[in-house]
Each structure stands twice: as C-alpha cells, then as structure tokens.
Amino acid sequence: MNVVLVGAECAPWSKTGGLGDVMGALPKALARRGHRTMAVVPRYSNYEEGWETGVRVRMRVMGSDTEVGYFHGYIDGVDYVFVDHACFQGRQGDIYGGDRQSILFRCALLCKAALEAPWHVPCGGAPYGDENLVFIANDWHTALLPVYLQAHYRDYNKMTFARSVLVIHNMAHQGRGPLAEVAGLEIPEHYTHLFQLYDPIGGEHMNIFKAGLIAAHRLVAVSHGYAWECQTAEGGWGLDGVLREHAWKLRGIVNGMDYAEWSPQSDPHLRSDGYSNYGPDDIAAGKARCKAALQRELGLPEDPNVPLLGFIGRLDYQKGVDLIRDNFDWLMHEGAQLVLLGSGRDDLENSLREMEASRHQQCRGWVGFNVRLAHRITAGCDMLLMPSRFEPCGLNQLYAMAYGTVPIVHAVGGLRDTVHPYNPYENTGTGWTFDWADAGSFRDAMGNAIYTYREFRDSFRAVQLRGMRQDLSWDHAAELYEQVRL
Ligand code: ADP
C-alpha cells in the first residue's frame, strides 16, 4: 500500500499528547511492514530534518487563494512531509490555539495540502500517485480530508483508487460551530447535511467530525473498549447515533508504544543525574537508582521504601486529576510520596501547586510540559496513577508497564484493554484497576497496590516484571491497521 497519514501533531517535532506519539510511531511501523508511508504534518517551526522541496501548490482555502510549500525528510523509512504555510509558523507551542476562523483555516489547509501531497511531493523518487493509496486522518482536525477526497476528487473521477480511514483518538473534540460556517469550507451544497447535527449539547450546529465519520471509508477507534464506548450516550458526545449507524465500518485497534522513544534499557533521559538504564534482569537495582535520583532531583526525602506514586498528563476533567486531589489527604496519611506533572486547566494547575505547598515533604506538583521529567517520573515511580474518566487508549500506562512502574487505572476504554488487574490467587495481572470513577473506588485500588508493595514485595515485583515483559510495540497494531480492508 501507499499510506499517507495526516495529523496536526507529530512527535518528536510537535506533540501535546498521545496523537503526537501515534503520528510519530505508526508510520514507522507501517514502513517496517513494507508499505510506502508518508506522514503529512504542519511545519510549525524550522525543523532541521525537513528539506525544502521547492514544490509549491496553489489552492483555495476558505475563500482565499493561497500557496503551500512542502518540506521533506526521509527518516526510518518514512517520508515526513512538513506543510509550509504562514498559518502554521510560530504555532509550535500553541498548536490548537487561535480564533475559530484561524483554527478552521489551518484544518482545511492541512487536509487540502495532504490530498495534494501524493501528487506533487517527489519523496526521493516518483510521487506516490493514487494507486493503492490510503489516507489515514486523525481526529476532527483532519476530518475534512475524507469529505474533500469525496467531494473534490472522487466525484470528478479523480483518485478513484484512493480510500480514507479516519482514526478516532478523542470524541470530546469535534470541531463544532455555527452551521453557517460550513459555507466557508468549500463544500458542495449537497454535502452540507453531513455537517449538520442537532443534539442537546450544541443544539443545531456544524460538526466537522460528524462529516468526516460519515465520509470516511473506514473508521478506527484507538482501542476495542473505546470503539464500543463511543457508540454509547456517555462516550459519544452527541455522535453516538452516527457511530452506531456506521458501526459496520468501525473497529478498535489499540495503540502500540514506540520502544525507540520509551525503553528503560536505552532511554537517554536516564543516562545522567544519577538515573540509570535498566531492564527486567536488573530491575531491582535499576529502579532503586532511578527512584533515588527522582527523589533527589525533586528535593523529596530519599527513601527506597516509601511508595512513590506518579501522575503525568493533561490537566483536564477527562484525566480525573480531581480524584487524586480528593484522595490527597488519605495518600499523605498513608505515608506515600506523590509526584504530579501536567499542564492544562488553571484550577487543576493550582491544585497541583496547592498539594505541593501543603505537603512539601511528600508531594511535588510540577506544572508544565517536560518530556525529560515525564521519562524520569515513569522510571523512578513505583506506581503510576491514571484515574481517567474516559481514556480512548492512553499511552502513559503502556510506558509505565514497560518501565516496571505499576499502573493503577480506571478500567475504561484503552485502560481496560491494556491493564490486566492483579489477581493474587493466580498470580496474574499487570496493574490495579477500579470500576467506578469515584474517589472511594480509586482509593481502594491504591490501597491494595500500596499494601501489596509494602507487605508482598515479591508479588509486587512479579506484577512489575509481567508488565515489562509484554510486547507492547506498534508492530502488532500496524498489522491490524493493514487489515482494515477497504
Ligand atoms: P492524551 O493523548 O489524552 O493526552 P495519552 O496518555 O494518550 O493522553 O498521551 C499523553 C502523552 O503526552 C504521553 O506521551 C505523555 O507522556 C505526554 N504528556 C502529557 N502531559 C505531559 C507533560 N506535562 N509533560 C510531558 N509529557 C506529557
């Protein structure tokens, strides 16, 4: 196949969350399986890996004629194509920011530029063309792509061999707006109904995700659990009916993880400041060194036996940070240490600061986005907390397990798919799970994990090792993507 993945973010160049990681890793895994693979992403900054191709394409975007350029880098078998346009420049730290019109403009432009890329960008040889061509779009920001593919190409007998897949990473964001805005998107009138949605949340409105879900040839949700949940009233955010209607073309594929970025054996962030690389064979010494180094780096008392719990993630209602806050006094009373890293909602950022201020000897709340610290917390903690209210896939629990850090998760979406609850009778499982997103259920799970850590260290170690020894790589997921038959 010729595969073109399109996304608003792509690690290591741009990332705000899991989508960036997926865009960074899935193309490489598909390329390893022998597919010619291109990843089309915005050029938010002057990335040194991307070279000016000299290709410029004129296009009409939201009523204005404009020109895009393409930069290209061939890395790990993948053609990374960076779309160059003034609307992306300077947005490196604010990918989704700006007013509605400028966000829509960037989304429309990226989709149009991606549809033209296989024709114009030489990619070190001949352009891809449309033979066996599959576009993989991601979330609402690129949901216009399947619509444009149909309306601007296939309806004119162009790209008749090309197909589109839309991957659902998060249903909570849908590109909603006033219905009148559809007129600005260069959509033929007979397709405007695709964008029209009435629901109690938004009333009658324009919904870009809805149009993409209908127009795409196939849909993928980032876990089996999420494929089911987004068809329910709780998980569909108003689009559950649309998804139920199109369930025939929807399947769940759990994200993999990129061991090149996240492996305790080779992680470059563990090579200094007292941290060290480790694997399953030297987990005891390796994790002890990383735990001590983390405690030292953050100025917490160095104690090998205190249960050290971590949280990394966007500070958002979705991530259940408030459930950690609700259990804070209990955790402190238990004598645990708690390290939180995140950025997002102001009130939750303040919660982190308040928790740290109130228990400076036991808690650190690091507000910001810091990849190195994320790696170090993942390595140094004994347990990682993910009390997400919903979690389409979640990557931090995968990283945690690979690092021998035991995840404690709300059994929902991808967390339920990937973390198997510890069963002391059969000595199975890779973490602790709880079924209700409330403070009490979460507390019980943390209590059990801490109890096992303190009283049954061998059992705890076995949970860690089972997590570490799993194959969580993208290779399997890439094979499943390949099977999304069109
Ligand atoms: P989501 O995509 O919903 O944000 P995921 O668990 O799928 O959640 O992916 C989150 C990714 O973003 C992980 O790679 C995680 O380490 C990273 N991340 C989130 N917040 C931070 C932060 N404050 N600093 C560094 N990395 C972060």
Reported as a single tens digit per residue, the pLDDT across 312-332 is 999 999 999 999 999 999 999
Residue 156 sits at the vertex; the CA angle it makes with 153 and 158, to the nearest 5 degrees, is 50
Q: Strands of 176-177's sheet, edge to edge?
A: 176-177, 203-207, 196-199
Residue 261 lies in a domain: no
- Do 414 and 311 share a structural domain? yes
CATH of the domain at 77: 3.40.50.2000
Among 222, 253, 284, the domain boundary falls at 253
Does any domain span residue 478?
no
Whether the CB of 441 sits within 6 Å of ligand 1: no
Residue 6, domain member (yes or no): yes
73 shares a domain with 119: yes
Per the domain annotation, does 453 fall within a domain?
A: yes
| Candidate of 317, 364, 395, 412 to mutate for ligand 1, largest count of ligand atoms within 8 Å of Cβ | 395
Name the band, by pLDDT with cuts 50, 70 and 90, for residue 35.
very high
Closest among 106, 109, 124, 2 to 53, alpha carbons compared: 124
- Give the Cβ contact number of residue 410 at 10 Å: 27
Report the number of distinct structural domains present in the chain: 2
379: Cα within 13 Å, side-chain hemisphere: 34
Cα distance between residue 264 and residue 259, in whole Å: 9
446 lies in some domain: yes
Name the H helices within 1-66: 18-32
Say if ligand 1 is within 6 A of residue 341 CB: yes
- Answer yes or no: do 58 and 158 share one domain: yes
pLDDT at 201: 75
Residue 323 domain boundaries: 268-471
- State in Å: Cα 20 to ligand 1 middle: 9
Which helix (H) or strand (E) segment is 465 a member of? helix 457-468
Query: pLDDT tens across 175-222, in order?
Result: 999 999 999 999 999 999 999 999 887 789 999 999 999 999 999 999
Q: What is the pLDDT of residue 190?
A: 96
Whether 473 and 256 have beta carbons less than 8 Å apart is answered as yes
- Please choose, from the candidates 377, 400, 396, 413, the residue with its C-alpha nearest in 3D space to the C-alpha of residue 463: 400
**240 and 370 within one domain:** no
CA-closest candidate to residue 242, choices 199, 187, 202: 199
Task: Give the burial string for 348-381 (b: 16+ CB within 10 Å, else e).
Answer: bbebbeebbeebeebbbbbbebeeebbbbbbbbb
Q: In what order do the strands lie in the sheet with 2-6?
A: 51-61, 64-75, 78-84, 36-42, 2-6, 133-138, 163-168, 218-221, 250-252
Instruction: Give which of 9, 82, 74 is closest to 36, Cα–Cα.
Output: 74
Q: Could you tell me if 240 and 334 lie in one domain?
A: no
Assess whether the C-beta atom of 317 lies below 6 angstroms from ligand 1. Answer: no
371 CB under 6 A from ligand 1? yes
* 374 and 462 fall within a common domain: yes
Q: Are residues 369 and 457 in the same domain?
A: yes
Pairing of strands 51-61, 64-75: antiparallel
How far is it, in rounded angstroms, from Cα 431 to Cα 449? 8
Distances 130 to 6, 121, 126, 135, 253 between C-alpha atoms, Å:
16, 13, 12, 10, 25
Over the stretch 214-264, which tens digit does the pLDDT of each residue have?
999 999 999 999 999 999 999 999 999 999 999 999 999 999 999 999 999
Q: Is 18 in the pocket of ligand 1 (CB under 6 A)?
A: yes
Closest C-alpha residue for ligand 1 atom 18: 313
